[in-house]
Amino acid sequence: MVVFVALMGFLCPFAEAEQVNEGGWPVPDLRNLVPYQITLRSVDGVEKMVERFLTPEGGHVAKVSGNGKVYAYAIDKDQEPPIDYLLIDPDGKGKFTLKLGPYDAYKIPAWVSR
């Protein structure tokens, strides 16, 4: 039983850890792309907007903003769940330094509410 649980932890896709790149991860180029879906909702007092774009390669990208401030991009190369990864600007400096896996949880950064 212990071996099985240990093996499951090793193979589990949920075990992806966040990655930090102090220089910032490259964000997707959305020029010339038209959103195919836009959703708005209130989350923790923030007006959250998600704009989804199809990419020429057959995937999609989502630009995530709160109160008009872009704080994340979700990237998915095949349009099938889950997303490949999420880039986050954790401090509002315009650098998307945090990269999360498809199963990592996140909160809207505090700077979005300011």
**Does some domain include residue 78?**
yes
Task: Say how many domains are in the chain.
Answer: 1
Proportion of the chain above pLDDT 70, given as a percent: 86
pLDDT given for residue 15 in this prediction: 46
**Does some domain include residue 46?**
yes
**Does some domain include residue 10?**
no
Give the structural domain span for 64.
17-113
Give the pairing type, strands 85-88 and 69-76: antiparallel
**Does some domain include residue 11?**
no
Q: What are phi and psi of 110, to 5 degrees?
A: -60, -30
- pLDDT, tens only, 1-42: 333 333 333 344 444 579 999 999 999 999 999 999 999 999
**Does some domain include residue 52?**
yes
Residue 105 burial class via C-beta count within 10 angstroms: exposed 0-12, middle 13-18, buried 19 and up: exposed
Maximum Cα interatomic distance, the chain, rounded to a whole number of Å:
53
**Does some domain include residue 99?**
yes
